[in-house]
Amino acid sequence: MAGACERAGRDVDSVRLVAVTKYAQLNWVRDLISAGQTALGESRPQQLAARAEELAREIDCPIEWHMIGHLQRNKVEMVLPVATLTHSVDSLRLANRISAVAATRDKPAKVLIEANVSGEQSKDGFAPDDLRASWDELCELPGLNICGLMTMAPRVDDPAQARPYFASLRELRDELAARSGAENTLTELSMGMSGDFEAAIEEGATIVRVGSSLFEGLS
């Protein structure tokens, strides 16, 4: 991460690592926290809630939980009290549900809007043109603090092949930021995983989601 920041002329503190722990054993997660990594990402709501509760009882330091996977509307009430940031708001229906639940908690929900910039049918997220068309409505939803955008690049053999998708997300973010109010700052770009996070950082990522690289060799 530091090397990618240096190549891009960026401050290393401008990028945060979210450790993806969905396949990690709980003792591995404890070791990560002991090493100082306290921003953790889970893709399953039930596991997110269960681990947050268990580790809060064990560990005397704040843990920043990120919901990074697909979120069903009926799981929103489970996730919002736990997640510092929800990365995967992929539809207007889900955004409306989060807004409604946030209103009952009297606390804005910090979210990222997922954009499917690759156009792959297997991936969730707004198509860029659909997001442009829905943007004003998203920004008007009460209780929703839109902090930025998220994407998943296609699986590629060469990380450089993912670079155009990361650049597309950055350009889309810049375009939408010009249409956003002060409450939606769009400072965050969540993009890049174990195989391509360096290219993502060089294209402007502020959050990278890394899992398998952290746990290689463990069993």
Domains contained in the chain, CATH given = 2-208 (3.20.20.10)
Instruction: Quick: pLDDT tens for 137-190.
Output: 999 999 999 999 999 999 888 999 999 999 999 999 999 999 987 778 899 999
Would you state the pLDDT for residue 219? Answer: 57
> What's 115's DSSP letter?
B
Would you state the pLDDT for residue 217? Answer: 63
> What's 74's DSSP letter?
G
Helices (H), the chain: 2-8, 26-34, 45-58, 76-79, 92-105, 128-140, 163-177, 197-202
Instruction: Quick: pLDDT tens for 62-72.
Output: 999 999 999 99
Would you state the pLDDT for residue 182? Answer: 77
Mean pLDDT of all residues in the chain?
Answer: 95
Among 192, 207, 205, CA closest to 159: 192
Instruction: Quick: pLDDT tens for 83-114.
Output: 999 999 999 999 999 999 999 998 999 999 99
- Strand partners for 66: 41, 85
